[in-house]
Amino acid sequence: MNVNLRFVNHSNDCGNSEIVLFQRNVIPDFDELAIAWKVIRFCGRDCIHPFVYSTDIEIALGDEHGNFSPRMSAQHGGRFVIGVHPTGRARLTGEPAPASGADGGPEIQVVNRMPRGAVNVNAFNAGKLIAAKQAVAPAQKAVFRFTPALWIGVASQIEEGRALSSAVLSSDNTMLPLAGIAAGDIVMTGGGSGSDAQPFAFAFENIVPL
């Protein structure tokens, strides 16, 4: 399902700041950082930047050369296996979900069952990278669980598809809950310079429920 969103700049900033939106994996590894899912640049005062967030997640494998496997749709509770393709490359295949009452859950799990070789596992939302687990070794797994929410904040020198620094993640980001929402405006206020400067703030307005 798609959620139609609009970023609206009602701040005193004239488009000089970079706005980053990202999602948090509910059960991340200690060495896992959030990914800059979307970066909005040069959006002037009183201007609008529309975009779409999807509740659908896709999974793909990747390597250190920037290559990706075909993406596979991943529902909550989806299970995937990394095996060996006849060419010798890693191959991603779906696996039946555990029977009712078995050890399952709403998370997406990707298990590396190759005899050797670590693989990067990537999660995509609306065609953009939203989370990644690097170097998943044989017998290990990547686990993703997302709540219907985005985080938004002001940052600098951010690149879409790249990991966010701990400084960005620990800054004053705003959570935007998206459950039960079909559309809405994300309005930024604040900014400015000198004694009149105010902290940037984000508010969810004009919400259209499902």
Q: Residue 26, CB half-sphere, CA atoms under 13 Å: how many? A: 11
Q: Looking at the predicted structure, is the pLDDT value of residue 27 above 60?
A: yes
Give CA torsion, residues 111, 36, 10, 195, to 10 deg: 130
Closest CA to 183 of 8, 36, 51: 51
CATH 2.60.40 in the chain: give the residue spans. 2-55+148-209
Q: Which of 77-81, 86-90, 139-143, 150-154 has the lowest mean pLDDT?
A: 86-90
Per-residue pLDDT of 29-66, as tens digits, reads 655 668 999 999 999 999 999 999 998 999 999 988 88
In contact, 13 and 201? CB cutoff 8 Å: no
Question: In the block, which residue shows the tokens 């904040």?
Answer: 153
Q: Looking at the predicted structure, is the pLDDT value of residue 9 above 90?
A: yes
Range 2-55+148-209: architecture per CATH: Sandwich (2.60)
Helix (H) or strand (E) holding 167: helix 166-169
Distances from the Cα of 138 to the Cαs of 42, 61, 110, 142, 200, in angstroms? 44, 14, 11, 11, 45
Place 113 in a pLDDT band, splitting at 50, 70 and 90. Answer: very high
Closest CA to 169 of 151, 187, 186: 151
Q: What pLDDT score was predicted for residue 101?
A: 46
Q: Residue 157, CB half-sphere, CA atoms under 13 Å: how many? A: 2
CA-based Rg of the chain, rounded to a whole angstrom? 19
Question: pTM for the complete prediction?
Answer: 0.88
Average model confidence (pLDDT) across the chain: 89
Per-residue pLDDT of 138-175, as tens digits, reads 999 999 988 889 999 998 889 999 999 888 888 889 99
